[in-house]
Amino acid sequence: MIVTVVAMPQGTIARTDLAEARRRLAATRYLLVDVELPETGPEEGEQLARRLGLGDTDLDWFGRPGEPARADFLGDTVGLVVPVVQDERVTYAHAVAGDRYLVTAHRGPAFLAPEITAHVRRERPRDAVALLFLVLQSALATFRRAAVAALLEVEELEDDMFQQRRPEQVYRLSRLRRRSALLHHSLLPYLQVVDEVITRRMMSPDFPLERQRLAREFQHVARMVLTDIETLQEATRRAFGSYSSLVAGEQNNVINRLAIVSVIFLPLSFLTGFFGMNFAFLTDELESRAVFWLLAIGLQICVLGGAFYVLHRTRIWRRLRDED
pLDDT one digit per residue (tens) for the chain, 324 residues: 778 777 776 667 778 888 888 888 888 777 888 888 877 655 555 678 888 887 666 788 888 888 888 888 877 788 889 898 887 888 888 888 888 888 888 887 665 566 666 666 666 767 778 888 888 888 898 899 999 999 999 988 888 888 888 888 888 888 989 999 999 999 999 998 888 888 777 666 677 787 788 888 888 999 999 999 999 999 998 888 888 877 777 777 777 777 777 777 777 787 777 777 777 766 666 666 777 677 777 777 887 788 777 777 766 666 655 555
Identify whether 105 is part of a domain.
Answer: yes
pLDDT at 225: 93
Q: What is the pTM of this model?
A: 0.74
Identify the domain boundary among 94, 123, 152: 123
Beta strands in the chain (DSSP E): 2-7, 12-16, 31-37, 70-74, 77-86, 89-97, 101-107
Range of the domain at 313: 246-323
- Report if residue 278 sits inside a domain: yes
**Domain-located, residue 273:** yes
Asked, for residue 267, whether it belongs to a domain, the answer is yes
Could you tell me if residue 308 is inside a domain? Answer: yes
Domain-located, residue 148? no
User: Tell me, what CATH number does 68's domain have?
Assistant: 3.30.460.20
Question: Which pLDDT score is estimated for 295?
Answer: 72
| Burial classification of residue 72, based on how many CB atoms lie within 10 Å of its CB (0-12 exposed, 13-18 middle, 19 or more buried) | middle
> At which of 88, 106, 123 does a domain end?
123
Specify if 261 maps to a domain.
Answer: yes
Q: How many domains does the chain have?
A: 2
Domain boundary among 88, 123, 158: 123
Confidence at residue 184, expressed as pLDDT on a 0 to 100 scale? 93
Residue pair 128/30 in contact by the 8 Å Cβ criterion: yes
In a domain, 165, yes or no: no
| Cβ(35)–Cβ(113) below 8 Å | no
The DSSP code sequence of 75-97 is: TTEEEEEEEEEETTEEEEEEEEE
